């Protein structure tokens, strides 16, 4: 259960003015419900996801996750929320360039205190799901854009988080790979994981329960 | 890659970087200037003192006048002097602090003189008619050379015969007021002499005082003069009561030399036995007061540092400034490099304490060299105090328990250790300020770059 009420978020411009990106935005997503968010480039979709992730705490309004006020939480508590409840697939992937694929994915499991063999097995399994079987030892710099995107997806879903937020998760993928990923997402939705997906792709938005459009700082229903 | 990031870091805040550039420039100049200041002739004269202290012992000789049974005391002292000078077992360093009286004329001296401040060097007279001088022998000169900036230093012949005047080398403070070749009329032990100015010492030149406590062994020679200990035996001037009285004073005062011999038990025994038999032979009893090389070595080291402390401190401050600025940029580049990683880790839910902790751990590497340096100095200082058994010998002999140990250790070693500690810590802190501050702002969710 996620609830955003009257969210206002702006950025100061070079001229010293404040440009408002999100204006009185409200959103309620029920438990187990998945939504797709569409909107023009620069409309504030990524900004919204950053707020939901707790990475950005510099906004006005109210953000409740499972009835808990997120904005008042300490940065440590918000980090813990991301660690335990959230998988975040960002637009820029945000992979650790100085580590290999295995380390990038396994880091999402570090708080669980699993034995190494189990970690290895889990990473191998998830890599198989995203079509990167045997990529463990490769470094991020050696991957293509689509491969990086899939590593990012694998890292977000490996710990099976309650909420997965994805910013253009299929932007760099070909149709076939995209369909594999989508069926993976669908399976997870059926297993009770909640998704908030920002996308331009109609096929992606189709798998969600609701499609919302971010327009002039607020969300409007399109389906 | 590094330079690209450095350029990025520099481009961000022009004013700050201009300021940093000025600081770098300023500290470089400061370092340059102080480096040459430290490396001046001060070090030169100190190292001469070092040479004396290194591997050598010194002892002070004093005549036992009470038990003297020599008929002609002056003759006895003079013969003793001549015998000691030719002895090869030890060096005889004669050094006597005294005054020459200029009688009716005043010493031309810049001190306390308002006229000098206003540039009128001709009109400067201070109400002082004495020049403090050190009378030395050739043996002294060999170990503690006098560096002159003008004129000449003493030569062997200056000590051997009297040619109607006593040559004098004046400290640098006298330079504006006297000329090379100028003759001064004055008295020395109440006997009238002419003194000829033959040279001026370099400014800042310092020499040993052979003070009883080597604590303040070195002093500035800027305000004093040097005269040679001339052996007047070759002088054919007839005897008068005034002259006899002069010679008696002269030889009595000057025959209290320091002798310098190798720092071994044998050398000490040989030297002292030789002096004992010489004084027996002459009929002039002498007694020795042995000193210990540790005392001298400590004094020399202490003085080396004390005299250059000002310059060294300035140098250190300048170096520290420079290092701070460099480290600031280093830390900026470091952040730029790792920016993505810090952000990604935050995204994955790694807490800020963990990230900051990781950075601190990573940079603990910078503390290691500091600790090594500190240890190095500790070892260095404990080596200076050569052996602990020698120290305990000294305790019994000199009752200097709180002198030998605490003075060098507390006064010098510890401040240096502290300085190193502080500089090391500052390295550590400055290095991390920027990245940590940025990471905290990532977690604050403010205006982070993403
Ligand atoms: N840190 C920031 N500082 C200043 N302006 C920002 C910042 N982040 C985003 N913006 C501005 O906010 C607006 C919304 O950005 P956002 O990234 O949310 O857009 P988006 O909807 O995700 O676009 P896209 O579909 O292209 O990814 C943009 O105009 C952007 O320039
Ligand atoms: Mg975006």
Q: CA A103, A109, A115, A116: dihedral to nearest 10 degrees?
A: -10
- CA separation for the pair A12, B447 (Å, rounded): 9
Kindly provide the b/e burial profile for residues B14-28, where b requires at least 16 CB atoms within 10 angstroms of the residue's own CB.
Answer: eeeeeebeebbeebe
Domains held by chain B: number? 2
Asked if residues A19 and A76 have their Cβ atoms less than 8 Å apart, the reply is no
Distance B141 CA to ligand 1 centre (A): 82
Beta bridge pairs of residue A37: A198, A212
Most confident of A72-76, B10-14, B29-33: A72-76
Residues of chain B with C-beta less than 8 angstroms from the C-beta of A53: 347
Residue A98 in tokens: 């100085």
Asked if residues B185 and B194 have their Cβ atoms less than 8 Å apart, the reply is yes
- CA separation for the pair B9, B17 (Å, rounded): 9
* Position B198 in a domain: yes
Does the predicted TM-score (pTM) go above 0.80? no
pLDDT of residue B237: 62
pLDDT of residue B88: 84
- CA separation for the pair A114, B133 (Å, rounded): 85
Q: Would you kindly state where each structural domain of chain A is located, as residue ranges? A: 33-57+75-221
> Is the ipTM value over 0.85, yes or no?
yes
Which of the pair, B111 or B276, is modelled with greater confidence? B276
Which of the pair, B184 or A123, is modelled with greater confidence? A123
Query: Going edge to edge, which strands form the sheet with A60-65?
Result: A18-29, A2-12, A60-65, A68-69
Q: Are residues B161 and B241 in the same domain?
A: yes
Do the Cβ atoms of A97 and B346 come within 8 Å? Answer: no
Q: What proportion of chain A, given as a percentage, has pLDDT over 70? A: 100
Residue B123 in tokens: 């009109």
Q: Which helix (H) or strand (E) holds A223?
A: none
Q: Are residues B158 and B284 in the same domain?
A: yes
Final residue of a structural domain among B222, B257, B291: B291
- CA separation for the pair A59, A117 (Å, rounded): 42
List the one residue out of B107, B248, B111, B99 whose CA is nearest residue B178: B107
Final residue of a structural domain among B291, B313, B341: B291
Residue A44 CA: nearest ligand 1 atom is: 18
Final residue of a structural domain among B258, B291, B324: B291
Residue with tokens 């751990």: B361
Q: What is the mean pLDDT of residues B124-132?
A: 65
Q: Are residues B54 and B201 in the same domain?
A: yes
Asked if residues A167 and A49 have their Cβ atoms less than 8 Å apart, the reply is yes
Q: Are residues B180 and B32 in the same domain?
A: no
**Each residue of B337-364: pLDDT tens digit?**
788 888 889 889 888 888 888 878 877 7
Q: Which helix (H) or strand (E) holds A73?
A: none
pLDDT of residue B3: 75
> DSSP states of B33-102 as a string?
HHHHHHTSHHHHHHHHHHHHHTTEEEEEEEE-GGG---SSHHHHHHHHHHHHHH-SSSEEE-EEEEEEE-
Q: Which residues of A touch B (CB under 8 A)?
A: 11-12, 50, 53-58, 75-76, 78-84, 86, 88, 90, 94-98, 107-108, 111, 155
Nearest ligand, measured from the Cα of B450: 1
Q: Are residues B169 and B282 in the same domain?
A: yes
DSSP 8-state symbol, A100: B
Burial of B403 (C-beta count, 10 Å sphere; 0-12/13-18/19+): middle
Residue B275 in tokens: 């002096």
Do the Cβ atoms of A55 and B351 come within 8 Å? Answer: no
- CA separation for the pair B6, B334 (Å, rounded): 9
Do the Cβ atoms of A75 and B351 come within 8 Å? Answer: yes
Residue B94 in tokens: 């004669």
Q: Are residues B239 and B192 in the same domain?
A: yes
Instruction: Indicate the class that CATH gives domain A33-57+75-221.
Output: alpha beta
Asked if residue B247 has pLDDT above 80, the reply is yes
Most confident of A6-10, B109-113, B199-203, B257-261: A6-10
Alpha helices in B287-413 (DSSP H): 293-347, 352-363, 367-384, 388-398, 401-404, 406
Distance A38 CA to ligand 2 centre (A): 10
Do the Cβ atoms of A79 and B351 come within 8 Å? Answer: yes
Size of chain B in residues: 450
> Sign of torsion, CA B402 B408 B413 B415?
positive
Asked if residue B17 has pLDDT above 90, the reply is no
DSSP 8-state symbol, B66: G
Q: What proportion of chain B, given as a percentage, has pLDDT over 70? A: 60
**Each residue of A137-182: pLDDT tens digit?**
999 999 999 999 999 999 999 999 999 999 999 988 999 999 999 9
Q: Which residue of B has its CA nearest to A55?
A: B445
Kindly provide the b/e burial profile for residues B42-59, where b requires at least 16 CB atoms within 10 angstroms of the residue's own CB.
Answer: beebbebbbebbeebbbb
Asked if residue B291 has pLDDT above 90, the reply is no
pLDDT of residue B413: 44
pLDDT of residue B86: 85
Asked if residue B34 has pLDDT above 70, the reply is no
Residues of chain B with C-beta less than 8 angstroms from the C-beta of A60: none
Asked if residue B110 has pLDDT above 70, the reply is no
Asked if residues B105 and B125 have their Cβ atoms less than 8 Å apart, the reply is no
Most confident of A23-27, B378-382, B398-402, B407-411: A23-27
Q: Are residues B377 and B409 in the same domain?
A: yes
Query: Confidence class of residue A69 from pLDDT cuts 50, 70 and 90?
Result: very high
Most confident of B198-207, B255-264, B277-286, B290-299: B198-207
- Write out the residue range of the structural domain in which residue B204 sits: 46-291
- Give, rounded to a whole angstrom, the gap between the first and last alpha carbons of chain A: 20
Q: Are residues B311 and B253 in the same domain?
A: no
């Amino acid at each position: 259960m996620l609830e955003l009420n009257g969210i206002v978020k702006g950025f100061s411009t070079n001229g010293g003015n404040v440009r408002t990106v999100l204006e009185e935005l409200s959103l309620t997503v029920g438990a187990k419900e998945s939504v797709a968010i569409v909107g023009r480039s620069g409309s504030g979709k990524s900004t919204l996801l950053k707020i939901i992730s707790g990475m950005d705490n510099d906004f006005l309004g109210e953000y409740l996750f499972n009835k808990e006020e997120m904005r008042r939480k300490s940065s440590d508590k918000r980090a813990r929320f991301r660690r335990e409840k959230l998988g975040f697939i960002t637009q820029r992937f945000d992979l650790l360039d100085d580590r290999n694929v295995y380390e990038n994915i396994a880091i999402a499991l570090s708080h669980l205190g699993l034995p190494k063999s189990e970690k290895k097995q889990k990473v191998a399994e998830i890599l198989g799901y995203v079509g990167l079987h045997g990529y463990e030892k490769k470094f991020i710099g050696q991957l293509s854009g689509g491969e990086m995107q899939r590593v990012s997806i694998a890292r977000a879903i490996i710990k099976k988080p309650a909420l997965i937020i994805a910013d253009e998760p299929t932007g760099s993928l070909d149709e076939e790979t995209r369909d594999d990923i989508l069926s993976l997402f669908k399976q997870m939705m059926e297993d009770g994981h909640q998704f908030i997906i920002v996308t331009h792709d109609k096929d992606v938005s189709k798998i969600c329960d609701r499609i919302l459009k971010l327009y002039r700082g607020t969300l409007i229903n399109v389906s | 890659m590094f330079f690209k990031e450095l350029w990025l870091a520099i481009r961000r805040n022009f004013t700050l970087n201009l300021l940093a550039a000025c600081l770098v420039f300023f500290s470089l100049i400061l370092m340059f200037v102080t480096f040459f200041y430290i490396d001046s002739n001060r070090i030169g004269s100190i190292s001469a003192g070092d040479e004396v202290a290194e591997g050598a012992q010194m002892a002070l000789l004093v005549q036992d006048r009470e038990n003297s049974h020599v008929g002609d005391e002056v003759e006895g002292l003079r013969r003793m002097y001549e015998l000691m000078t030719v002895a090869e077992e030890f060096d005889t360093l004669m050094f006597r602090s005294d005054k020459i009286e200029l009688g009716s004329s005043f010493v031309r001296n810049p001190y306390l003189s308002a006229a000098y401040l206003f540039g009128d060097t001709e009109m400067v007279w201070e109400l002082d008619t004495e020049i403090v001088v050190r009378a030395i022998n050739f043996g002294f000169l060999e170990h503690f050379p006098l560096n002159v900036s003008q004129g000449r230093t003493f030569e062997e012949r200056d000590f051997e015969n009297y040619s109607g005047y006593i040559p004098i080398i004046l400290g640098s403070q006298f330079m504006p007021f006297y000329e090379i070749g100028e003759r001064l009329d004055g008295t020395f032990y109440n006997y009238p002499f002419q003194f000829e100015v033959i040279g001026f010492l370099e400014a800042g030149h310092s020499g040993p005082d052979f003070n009883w406590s080597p604590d303040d062994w070195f002093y500035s020679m800027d305000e004093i003069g040097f005269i040679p200990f001339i052996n007047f035996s070759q002088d054919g001037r007839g005897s008068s009561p005034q002259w006899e009285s002069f010679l008696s004073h002269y030889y009595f005062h000057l025959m209290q030399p320091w002798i310098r011999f190798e720092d071994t038990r044998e050398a000490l025994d040989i030297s002292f036995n030789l002096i004992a038999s010489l004084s027996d032979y002459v009929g002039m009893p002498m007694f020795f007061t042995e000193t210990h090389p540790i005392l001298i070595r400590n004094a020399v080291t202490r003085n080396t540092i004390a005299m250059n402390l000002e310059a060294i401190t300035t140098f250190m401050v300048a170096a520290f400034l420079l290092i701070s600025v460099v480290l600031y940029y280093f830390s900026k580049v470091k952040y730029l490099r790792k920016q993505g990683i810090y952000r990604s880790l935050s995204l994955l839910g790694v807490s800020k304490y963990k990230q900051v902790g990781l950075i601190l751990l990573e940079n603990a590497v910078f503390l290691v060299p500091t600790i090594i340096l500190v240890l190095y100095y500790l070892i260095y200082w404990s080596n200076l105090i050569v052996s602990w058994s020698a120290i305990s010998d000294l305790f019994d002999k000199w009752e200097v328990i709180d002198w030998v140990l605490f003075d060098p250790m507390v006064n010098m070693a510890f401040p240096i250790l502290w300085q190193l500690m502080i500089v090391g810590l500052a390295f550590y802190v400055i290095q991390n300020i920027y990245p940590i501050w940025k990471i905290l702002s990532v977690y604050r969710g403010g205006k982070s770059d993403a």
